[in-house]
Amino acid sequence: MAKDDGSVLIPVIAVMAVGLTVGALLSLSVVRGMTISGSTRVGLQSQAAADAGVAAARAGLYAGNCTLQATSATYTSTGSIYYSATVQRMQDGAWQAGCPANLTPQIKVLSTGRAVNSAGQPYGTPTTVEAIYNFVWPVPYKPSGVGMYLYGNAIVAANSALDLSENGGLVIKNGSFTCSKNNAVLNGNVVVAGNLVLGSSNGSGSSCTITGSAWVSGAVTLLKRSSISGNLTAGSVSPNPPGSLVGGTYTQGGALPAAAPWADVAYGASTPSDWAGSTGTTINLVTLPTSSGGCSLPTSPLGIAGQTTMINALACTGGIQTSGNNVMLAGDVVIFANSFSWGNSQTFASSSAAEHRLWFVTPDNLADAQPTCSSSEGPFTTANGFTILAPIDAMLYTPCAITTGNNFTWKGQIYAGSGDLENNPSFQSIQIGMPGFDFGTGTTTSNGVTTPQPGTLVSNRNINVAH
């Protein structure tokens, strides 16, 4: 029996060896599982943090605070997660560090996220996400349109000096044009979808001269001391042939140059945010209180340097009315009103040597491609001596008429339902236009975007993954 005692221990030892091996394998498996679980946790947390950084940068770009970060163009976490997201812009075909600028077409966000331990400290391998977005800008403000656009009939009186040589001249969209008083000169081209009368049959002193060419759909009547320096295209002309009254060639029945349709500008289609987005300036909105009569302009000087001031006087039933004074502008100003009535010697000037723009707008609230002067609206009228002084450039938009007194002086554009300019008017064409509209085509230009912002996602990928 004693000889068999050792043989009994062999199986026991073998069983113990197997048990130890299995236990070691189990321990290794547990340790390895704990390691994998920790790596997975680091990866998930760092991925979530990196994605959060992309979202934060995108939200900041919508809010327009990219340059306002502690480090410009870098968004960093402040809570229980950790990320750092930097913004790059596509410029001249290459990625550059920095916030969107100069109509950047695309932006890239590089966001690095890390896991955070119980003490709030980042640890482990980071994850970096790259997200590329198209970047959308408001349609920039661009001057447009001819110097003087009158939809209906127009009359100019004695000693008219209208410099229409720039920006397409004078357009009468759907009416006739009469220039029958002494010493009137229109420097530039004229397009009239109606009849044209130059000069007068009364008195030897009457004269009206067009120094450019004229296109007229109807009849042209050339009276005493009238002339057209360039070519004439018309349905008919009297006298026929016009002889020396036309310096160039007379063509009967030729086509007129295409004239843009009327652009309907409603206040709702030209809001403060539209002007802010397209002009790139801050809008200072001033709303005049409701009044059953006319309202005066706020105290001069109007406007704020570096900003566009929008004065909403549409709650004034009688529009803007003044007895005539000198209004100084400290910045660009746009005035919306149902009508405008200016007293004698009304002037607009700059409060400094700086150039400013001034818009007078009576809205056209019916979108039908023709001027609609509603019953609550009225004309733009001036007494004698109304003057836009350099360096102010002004634009008038009204679906109603413009009717002026003597010695009317304007530099800029006039876009009106009809016009009657009395003695001694002086006009110099400067193209101004209006944000959100192309007066050269009669169409809107807004893309619905009022502030620069990220657009569609182009790509999103991990370029470094925690493990």
pLDDT tens-digit readout, 394-409: 999 999 999 999 999 9
* 117 and 266 part of one domain: no
Determine contact, residues 196/170, Cβ cutoff 8 Å: no
Please say if the pLDDT value at position 273 is more than 90.
no
> CA 135 to CA 310: how far, in whole Å?
28
* 279 and 332 part of one domain: yes
* 81 and 157 part of one domain: no
* 333 and 459 part of one domain: no
For the stretch 33-46, pLDDT in tens is: 434 455 687 889 99
Determine contact, residues 344/384, Cβ cutoff 8 Å: yes
- pLDDT given for residue 220 in this prediction: 97
* 61 and 167 part of one domain: no
Determine contact, residues 451/123, Cβ cutoff 8 Å: no
Identify the DSSP state of 439. T
Please say if the pLDDT value at position 370 is more than 60.
yes
Q: Which residue has the higher pLDDT, 366 or 199?
A: 366
Residue range of the domain that includes 327? 148-173+259-444
- pLDDT given for residue 467 in this prediction: 62
For the stretch 304-346, pLDDT in tens is: 888 889 999 999 999 999 987 899 999 999 999 999 999 999 9
- pLDDT given for residue 147 in this prediction: 95
Please say if the pLDDT value at position 28 is more than 60.
no
* 460 and 392 part of one domain: no
* 313 and 460 part of one domain: no
Tokens representing 16 are 């113990």
Which of 141, 144, 189 lies closest to 442 in space, CA to CA? Answer: 144
| Any domain includes 9 | no
- pLDDT given for residue 137 in this prediction: 84
> CA 387 to CA 384: how far, in whole Å?
9
| Any domain includes 142 | no
pTM of the shown model: 0.75
Among 141-145, 362-366, 406-410, which stretch is predicted with the lowest mean pLDDT?
A: 141-145
Find the mean pLDDT for residues 177-205. 87
> CA 211 to CA 158: how far, in whole Å?
17
Most confident of 72-81, 177-186, 233-242: 233-242
| Any domain includes 213 | no
**Count of other CB atoms within 10 angstroms of residue 333:** 28
Find the mean pLDDT for residues 260-270. 85
Which of 158, 187, 240 lies closest to 406 in space, CA to CA? Answer: 158
126-155 core/surface letters (b: 16 or more CB in 10 A; e: else): bbbbbbbbebbbbbebebbbbbbbbbbbbb
Max Cα–Cα distance, the chain, nearest Å: 159
Which of 335, 343, 295, 290 lies closest to 318 in space, CA to CA? Answer: 295
CA 321 to chain CA centroid, Å, is 29
Find the mean pLDDT for residues 72-92. 93
Element (H, E) at 274: helix 272-279
> CA 371 to CA 332: how far, in whole Å?
26
The percentage of the chain sitting over the pLDDT mark of 90, rounded to a whole number, equals: 68
Find the mean pLDDT for residues 348-353. 95
Element (H, E) at 178: strand 177-179
Q: Which residue has the higher pLDDT, 303 or 32?
A: 303
- pLDDT given for residue 52 in this prediction: 96
* 308 and 160 part of one domain: yes
* 378 and 460 part of one domain: no
Mean of pLDDT over the chain = 88
| Any domain includes 23 | no
For the stretch 428-454, pLDDT in tens is: 999 999 988 999 999 988 777 778 899
Look-up: residue for tokens 């950047």?
Answer: 104
**Count of other CB atoms within 10 angstroms of residue 467:** 11
Please say if the pLDDT value at position 24 is more than 60.
no
Element (H, E) at 10: helix 5-63
* 49 and 70 part of one domain: yes
For the stretch 148-186, pLDDT in tens is: 999 999 999 888 899 998 878 999 999 999 998 888 999
Q: Which residue has the higher pLDDT, 157 or 79?
A: 157
Which of 396, 437, 144 lies closest to 265 in space, CA to CA? Answer: 437
Which of 252, 258, 211, 259 lies closest to 232 in space, CA to CA? Answer: 252
Specify the length of the chain in residues. 467
| Any domain includes 248 | no
51-80 core/surface letters (b: 16 or more CB in 10 A; e: else): bbbbbbbbebbeeeebeebeeebbbebeee
- pLDDT given for residue 465 in this prediction: 75
Q: Which residue has the higher pLDDT, 1 or 106?
A: 106
> CA 92 to CA 96: how far, in whole Å?
9
> CA 394 to CA 431: how far, in whole Å?
9
Please say if the pLDDT value at position 22 is more than 50.
no
| Any domain includes 154 | yes
* 298 and 427 part of one domain: yes
| Any domain includes 266 | yes
* 278 and 307 part of one domain: yes
| Any domain includes 292 | yes
- pLDDT given for residue 280 in this prediction: 61
Determine contact, residues 202/185, Cβ cutoff 8 Å: no
Most confident of 108-112, 123-127, 142-146, 201-205: 108-112
Query: What's the number of domains the chain is made of?
Result: 2
Q: Which residue has the higher pLDDT, 452 or 361?
A: 361
Determine contact, residues 452/136, Cβ cutoff 8 Å: yes
Please say if the pLDDT value at position 25 is more than 70.
no
Among 155-169, 192-206, 227-241, 284-298, which stretch is predicted with the lowest mean pLDDT?
A: 192-206
Three-class secondary structure of residue 350 per DSSP? strand
- pLDDT given for residue 272 in this prediction: 66
